[in-house]
C-alpha cells in the first residue's frame, strides 16, 4: 500500500472515531507498528492530525457548544434532507405509535407520511401542527420552549415521556461520531432525546453527511443505538457499519 493511500485511510478512521490508538490503526490497515508510527509523525507534521502518546486525535473534532437557528438550518443541504426524510417516512406503518423529534429533517418527513391510523408524539409545535393538519392524532409534550430549535425541552418534558412506549422514533443530531455517539449542544434538549430514545423499540437518526465526525457538547445516544439514515457518504470508514442506511436523492 502506498504511503498516500495509508494516509487517506488513517485520516478517515481518525476523523470518524475522533481518535485512534496505534494498535487500532495496525489492525485496520494490517500494517506494522513502525509503519503506523512513522505515518502518524509525517501526518502530524503536515497538519492532518495531532499525534499523541499511543495514537492520534482528529483535527476536525472541535466540540460545538451552540445550536444554529432553526430557520437558518432549513435550507442547508435541503436536497439531501428531502431524500432522507422521504425514506424515513416510508418506515412508518399503519397503527404505529411514533415519536418525532424537533428538527429540520424530521419536520420534512411529515410531508411524506402515508400510513393510516398512526399516532404521534412530538416535542415540536411545528411538527404537531403539520401532523394535525394531515388528520393524524398527535400529542405534544409539555415543558420549556426553546426558540432556537423550536423544541419543547427540560425536566417536565422528560417526565412526560415516561408514560410512553413507542414502536418507532426519529431524531436529528448535531454530531455523529463512532466514539462519541450522537450529540447535541444543549443538555435540556439532549435529555429529551435520550429519554424518548430509551422508550422506542426502533430508533432512527436522520442526518446528512455534514453531521458525521462532528461532536457537540452533550451525548444522548451511542453510535450503535440507532439506524442512521443519511445521504451517500464519502468517508469510506463509515461504510463498514451495518447501522448506516444511505439513500439517494
In order, the DSSP letters of the chain are --HHHHHHHHHHHHHHHSEEEHHHHHHHHT--HHHHHHHHHHHHHHTSEEEETTEEEETT-PEE-SPPPHHHHTTTTHHHHHHHHHHHHHT--TT-EEEE-SSHHHHHHGGG---SS-EEEESBHHHHHHHHHTT-EEEE--SEEETTTTEEESHHHHHHHTT--EEEEEE--SEEETTTEEEES-HHHHHHHHHHHHTEEEEEEE--GGGBT-EESEEEE-GGGSEEEES----GGGGG-TTEEE---
Quote the CA–CA distance of 47 and 42 in Å, as a whole number: 9
70-246 CATH, one of 3.40.50.2300, 3.30.1490.100, 3.40.50.1360, 1.10.1370.30: 3.40.50.1360
- In this model, does residue 221 exceed pLDDT 50? yes
pLDDT at residue number 62: 58
Quote the CA–CA distance of 222 and 209 in Å, as a whole number: 18
pLDDT at residue number 179: 85
Predicted TM-score (pTM) of the model is 0.78
Domain 3-61 matches domain 70-246 at the CATH topology level: no
CA of 121: how far to CAs of 49, 93, 128, 234, in Å?
A: 43, 15, 8, 34
- In this model, does residue 61 exceed pLDDT 70? no
Question: Of 18-22, 45-49, 187-191, where does the model show the most confidence?
Answer: 187-191
C-alpha cell of residue 44: 502530524
3-61 CATH, one of 1.10.760.10, 3.30.110.40, 3.90.480.20, 1.10.10.10: 1.10.10.10
Find all residues with CB under 8 Å of 34, minimum gap 6, and list them. Answer: none
If pLDDT is split at 50, 70 and 90, which confidence band does 64 have?
Answer: low
Asked if 212 and 17 count as a contact pair (C-beta separation under 8 A), the reply is: no
Q: Any idea which of 73-77, 160-164, 204-208 has the lowest mean pLDDT?
A: 73-77
- What sign for the dihedral angle of Cα 45, 50, 53, 57? negative
Domain boundaries, the chain: 3-61, 70-246
46 phi, psi to nearest 5 deg: -80, -10
55-58 vs 49-52, strand pairing mode: antiparallel
pLDDT at residue number 72: 46
Question: Can you say how many angstroms the Cα of residue 236 is from the centroid of all Cα atoms in its chain?
Answer: 17
With 0-12 / 13-18 / 19 or more C-beta atoms within 10 angstroms meaning exposed / middle / buried, residue 33 is: exposed
Quote the CA–CA distance of 169 and 51 in Å, as a whole number: 39
Give the model confidence (pLDDT) of 118-132 as tens digits: 999 999 999 999 999
Quote the CA–CA distance of 52 and 59 in Å, as a whole number: 12
Amino acid at each position: 500500500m502506498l504511503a498516500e493511500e495509508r494516509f487517506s485511510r488513517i485520516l478517515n478512521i481518525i476523523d470518524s472515531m475522533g481518535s485512534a490508538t496505534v494498535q487500532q490503526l495496525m489492525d485496520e490497515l494490517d500494517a506494522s507498528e513502525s509503519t503506523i508510527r512513522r505515518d502518524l509523525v509525517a501526518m502530524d507534521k503536515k497538519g492532518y492530525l495531532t499525534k499523541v502518546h499511543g495514537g492520534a486525535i482528529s483535527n476536525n473534532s472541535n466540540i460545538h457548544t451552540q445550536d444554529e437557528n432553526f430557520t437558518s438550518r432549513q435550507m442547508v443541504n435541503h436536497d439531501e434532507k428531502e431524500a432522507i426524510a422521504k425514506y424515513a417516512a416510508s418506515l412508518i406503518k399503519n397503527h404505529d405509535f411514533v415519536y418525532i423529534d424537533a428538527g429540520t429533517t424530521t419536520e420534512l418527513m411529515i410531508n411524506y407520511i402515508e400510513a393510516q391510523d398512526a399516532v404521534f408524539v412530538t416535542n415540536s409545535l411545528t411538527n404537531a401542527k403539520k401532523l394535525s393538519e394531515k388528520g393524524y392524532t398527535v400529542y405534544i409534550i409539555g415543558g420549556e420552549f426553546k426558540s432556537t430549535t423550536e423544541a419543547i425541552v427540560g425536566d417536565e418534558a422528560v417526565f412526560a415521556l415516561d408514560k410512553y412506549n413507542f414502536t418507532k422514533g426519529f431524531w436529528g443530531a448535531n454530531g455523529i461520531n463512532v466514539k462519541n455517539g450522537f450529540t447535541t449542544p444543549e443538555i435540556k434538549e439532549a435529555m429529551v432525546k435520550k429519554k424518548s430514545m430509551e422508550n422506542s423499540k426502533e430508533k432512527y437518526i436522520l442526518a446528512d453527511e455534514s453531521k458525521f465526525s462532528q461532536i457537540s457538547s452533550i451525548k444522548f445516544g451511542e453510535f450503535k443505538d440507532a439506524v442512521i439514515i443519511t445521504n451517500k457518504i464519502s468517508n469510506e470508514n463509515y461504510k463498514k457499519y451495518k447501522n448506516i442506511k444511505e439513500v439517494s436523492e
